[in-house]
Structure 1
Amino acid sequence: MTDRTPFVEDASVAQLIADEQSTYRAEVTRGLGLFLTRQQAILGDIADDALELTAAIGRLTSGGKRLRASLCYWGFRGAGGSSDAREPVLAGVALELFQAAALIHDDVIDRSDTRRGSPSVHRQFGTLHERNRWHLSSDRFGVSAAVLTGDMCLSFSEEQFSDIGPGAASGTAARSIFNRMRTEVMAGQYLDLLEEAVGPDRTPDDAAARALRIVRYKSAKYSIEHPLGLGGALGGAGAAQLAGYSAFSLPLGEAFQLRDDVLGVFGDPTVTGKPAGDDLREGKRTLLIAKALQNGSPRDQELINSTLGQADLDDDGVSRLRDVIASSGALVAVESLIAEHSESAAQALKRLELDAVCRSALAGLATAAVSRSA
């Protein structure tokens, strides 16, 4: 397929991008709705009570930036795919469902009560238990139901991806990317969990190296690199173009997650939708923490290791940790690394052979990914 847009003036490019993205995102949202409606019919045949599962998934997938789906779309278009093809829509829905699974399970692991300013899925099910005055523990019910809901999202994601047809069949580049993405993010999530448990025993240098590996495998690859490559593979991109996509998207993905780490400590809760300093209460051993341990005084190191991960950490405790992180130079160091990775991505994007619309669209997504406040 070929659908190359000739060079046009910047204002026209911006309008073309806005129109295409709006149409595509609407199609993904519509596709999610249709898919969940079909699943509701299946669950309704089992029991009306089971409809709570798809209701929770519907609430979670109704919001979000659709970043992964959008990257898939522009990867597809950059490889010569048509703007009205069905493949990137189905792949976008599959990515959104996989993202939902990752968020649900992540909130369970981190014991996070909120997601995007609303109760997390395990809290929704816990509240359902409490409201109906059911027996046994509402917390245990909520967590168990959320695990099942996340598992259902994983199953749904695979089902929708398989619906793409021959382009996503076993042995294709797209199937390989999709399979690898799922394995990597789960391994990255485990490494993140492991670091919370054994992090205080690491040397600061070792902690920094491990934090960067978690950045890459827990988020950077599945959030940015693989969605773009997936779209490219579905659009017929060859090995050279896919390598070029990775040269752009991997450093961008790392900058994206490092920005997320900064927001997890210094973000505005009214914008992020999560309590201030939530990553500190959850004990996240991010690069910010590793850099603060590298550069901080023994007293600062003791404060970090003794305070990080306290679920009942109050606002004063959060403020003290923030001050230590900032005064150690860790925040400046991470911001510098974000800028460095962003520049690497920008240079790689310049080397890609893309039309004006695709290049500008990817540049815009890159800016949004790194310059965000939520």
Structure 2
Amino acid sequence: MSSPAADSTFRTAVAEQLSSFVAEQHRLLTDLDPMVGDLVDTAAAFTAGGKLLRPTFCHAGWLLAGGAPGDPRIAAAGAAFEWLQGSALVHDDLMDGSDTRRGRPSVHRDFEARHRDARALGDAAEYGARVAILLGDLLLAWADQHFRRARPDERTADLWDFCKSEVVSGQFLDVVAQTRDRFDIDSAMHVVRFKAAKYTVERPLHVGAALAGADDALLAELTDVALPLGEAFQLRDDVLGVFGDPADTGKPAGDDLREGKRTVLVARTAQVVGDERVLGLLGTAEGVDELRDLIDSSGALAAVEGDIDRLSDRAHAAIAAIGPHAVELLAPLVDAATRRVR
């Protein structure tokens, strides 16, 4: 069963919004200088092929609050979330030193290679980093610009702004966590809530519902769904970052371990085998295989799979408490978020 919130008509509408917006930006920005057109093309290519999960949750909130199917306002809001996600990913890849994204070179690696191939002056890695920062900023500007096309009222605009502030806060907490010499499951889950749960599920649901005129009571009920579901989504992401098939994820196997990410999966492993042993392996290319084996043999993988099941059950219970319409719209999205392979 698929959710009406994930129907192909809505996905097509979002894709058309993105495409027409890029064409408009290309015309405007190449008037400044033809070279900027390359930046626009890179932004469009980088955001292509996404799962459209945040737009889908935004659409679900809209429909649940009585929004009309096919209204271009909700497609505009969904498109804005795609630009916001693109901005976050460009910066995230740079901070993590990731080489690939969706099977293609990450933005900073792409422009680093271009600089090197052109035998340009200066440091190629610095050039790639600078372009990635600028591209991420451009995508953030596009997100705000596109969101205005949804004609949000002040309350909905506040929710949009909260979403941006929360994801930056979550990223900051993640950066700080990587400076500590110990692992803590509660702290790792705290990062998950702000970096992923609120940003991926709660705020998209809130924005869509508020855009359709939802009251505060419905927003509170959606929070009860979103937080456990968003946490389960990120835990699945953590599992895929270690054990996922590169053909599905678009990133090398074990990339999260190589990048030194302080995930719940890693924290649970350290709880069994010790902080010192995990610290000696995490963030090194040569430690990936051994740490992956430890995650499995220590029971950490099974524990996180159990966490995902428990959080998914909480989300389903919260959906059922809202009513049958919520079950129709949201229940299929639980599996889409937590049983995915990419």
Residue pair 1:115, 1:274 contacting (<8 A) in 2 also: yes
Matched, 1:81 2:67: yes
CA distance in 2, matches of 1:17, 1:164: 20
| Residue identity opposite 2:254 in structure 1 | G
Partner of residue 113, structure 1: 99
Aligned length: 342
Residue pair 1:264, 1:279 contacting (<8 A) in 2 also: yes
Q: Which residue of 121, 128, 131 corresponds with 2:114?
A: 128
- Give SS of 1:230's match: helix
Residue pair 1:75, 1:230 contacting (<8 A) in 2 also: yes
Partner of residue 38, structure 2: 52
| Deviation string, structure 1 residues 279-307 (Cα, Å, up to 9, x no partner) | 111111111111111122x5xx4331112
From the superposition, tell whether residues 186 and 15 of structure 1 become closer, same or farther in structure 2 (CA, over 3 Å): closer
TM-score between the two structures when normalised by the length of structure 2 = 0.96
Matched, 1:303 2:277: yes
| Residue identity opposite 1:134 in structure 2 | A
Percent of pairs identical after alignment?
42
CA distance in 1, matches of 2:298, 2:100: 30
CA distance in 2, matches of 1:231, 1:373: 26
Segment drifting more, 209-218 vs 361-370: 361-370
Partner of residue 6, structure 1: none
- Output aligned runs, 1:344-359, within 5 Å: 344-355=314-325, 359=327
Partner of residue 4, structure 1: none
| Residue identity opposite 1:17 in structure 2 | P
Partner of residue 43, structure 1: 29
- Output aligned runs, 1:140-151, within 5 Å: 140-151=126-137
Residue pair 1:266, 1:277 contacting (<8 A) in 2 also: yes
- Give SS of 2:319's match: helix
Q: Which residue of 241, 244, 249 corresponds with 2:218?
A: 241
What runs of 5+ residues in structure 1 fail to find an aligned partner? 1-13
| Residue identity opposite 1:25 in structure 2 | R
Matched, 1:211 2:192: no
Partner of residue 11, structure 1: none
What's the CA shift for 1:162?
A: 1.6
Partner of residue 254, structure 2: 277
What runs of 5+ residues in structure 2 fail to find an aligned partner? none
Q: Which residue of 103, 109, 123 corresponds with 2:89?
A: 103
Residue pair 2:206, 2:222 contacting (<8 A) in 1 also: yes
- Give SS of 2:261's match: coil
For the pair shown, which has the larger CA radius of gyration, 1 or 2?
A: 1
| Deviation string, structure 1 residues 334-353 (Cα, Å, up to 9, x no partner) | 11111110000000110113
| Residue identity opposite 1:32 in structure 2 | L
Residue pair 1:187, 1:217 contacting (<8 A) in 2 also: yes
Residue pair 2:116, 2:124 contacting (<8 A) in 1 also: yes
Partner of residue 255, structure 1: 232
Residue pair 2:62, 2:74 contacting (<8 A) in 1 also: yes
Matched, 1:152 2:126: no
TM-score between the two structures when normalised by the length of structure 1 = 0.88
Residue pair 1:256, 1:369 contacting (<8 A) in 2 also: yes
Residue pair 1:123, 1:142 contacting (<8 A) in 2 also: yes
| Deviation string, structure 1 residues 98-147 (Cα, Å, up to 9, x no partner) | 00000000000001010011111112212222232211111111110011
Matched, 1:318 2:295: no
Partner of residue 373, structure 1: 341
Q: Report the RMSD for the aligned CA atoms in angstroms.
A: 1.5
What's the CA shift for 1:163?
A: 2.2
Residue pair 2:10, 2:75 contacting (<8 A) in 1 also: yes
Segment drifting more, 275-284 vs 323-332: 323-332
What's the CA shift for 1:54?
A: 0.9
Which of structure 1's runs of 4+ aligned residues deviate more than 6 A? none
Matched, 1:195 2:177: yes
What's the CA shift for 1:354?
A: 4.7
CA distance in 1, matches of 2:37, 2:236: 36
CA distance in 1, matches of 2:323, 2:3: 19
Partner of residue 27, structure 1: 13
Matched, 1:360 2:328: yes
